[in-house]
Amino acid sequence: MESRAAVAVNFILFQAGWFACVLGAARGFPWQGALAGLLIAGFTVLRSKHPRGELALAAAAALGGLAFDSALALSGWVDFEGAVPVSSLAPVWMVVLWALFATTLNVSLRWLREWPALGVLFGAVGGPVAYYAGERLGALSFTDSMLGLTAVAVGWALATPLLLALARRLEAR
């Protein structure tokens, strides 16, 4: 069990990485924001109890996020700022956000691992809230907000419990 301080630090680091990625993209510095987020994710992985498992979890989340956000971009429902290196795929800063999210699953969001149904709800609400906040800050835009946010809700409702289960499985090894 993580101490309250470790949980708080994990949450604060995630938020710092989120803002670095989102504001970096919104202000025309997507690579710098992604690098800051990647450094935070790397620090969190290295400081974890099981760095190899944590790295595998972050990599799996990043790959899943790349696929999901690329599908959103290719559908035309979401337009990401700083879409580099390929404009029709998810930008690097979004992929880093997925890895950052994964670094919370064994610390500040660990409690969700015991409640898979709550993980579905957490993803279905938290995903759209984060994307909407990113839109308000200028990092992305929806061509059709209702359709785009619904797709995000469904995707995150599926991804969150799957990543929580993977976190549990990797930790058990």
pLDDT in tens, 62-118: 999 999 999 999 999 999 998 666 667 899 999 999 999 999 999 999 999 999 999
Amino acid in position 150: T
Choose among 153, 106, 98, 92: nearest CA to 11: 106
Handedness of CA 38, 159, 114, 16 (dihedral sign): positive
For helices 51-75 and 30-47, the axis angle rounded to 10 degrees is 150
**pLDDT grade for 123, boundaries at 50, 70 and 90:** very high
Whether residue 38 is predicted with pLDDT greater than 70 in this model: the reply is yes
Measure the N-to-C terminal CA separation of the chain; round to a whole number of Å: 17
On average, the pLDDT of the chain sits at 95
Say whether pLDDT at 159 is over 80. Answer: yes
**Residue pLDDT, tens place only, 127-149:** 999 999 999 999 999 999 999 99
DSSP letters spanning 87-120: TTS--HHHHHHHHHHHTTTTTTTGGGGG-HHHHH
Distance between CA atoms of residues 111 and 160, nearest Å: 13
| Token output for 34 | 């992604």
Quick one: angle between helices 4-26 and 92-102, nearest 10?
170
81: three-class secondary structure by DSSP: coil
- The pLDDT, as a whole number, for residue 140 is 97
* Model pLDDT, residue 10: 97
* Residues of the chain above pLDDT 90, percent: 91
Measure the CA–CA gap between 152 and 129, rounded to whole angstroms.
9
The pLDDT score that the predictor gives to residue 2 is 79
Give the closest residue to 124 by CA, choosing from 81, 71, 161, 76.
Answer: 161
The per-residue pLDDT for 55 is: 98
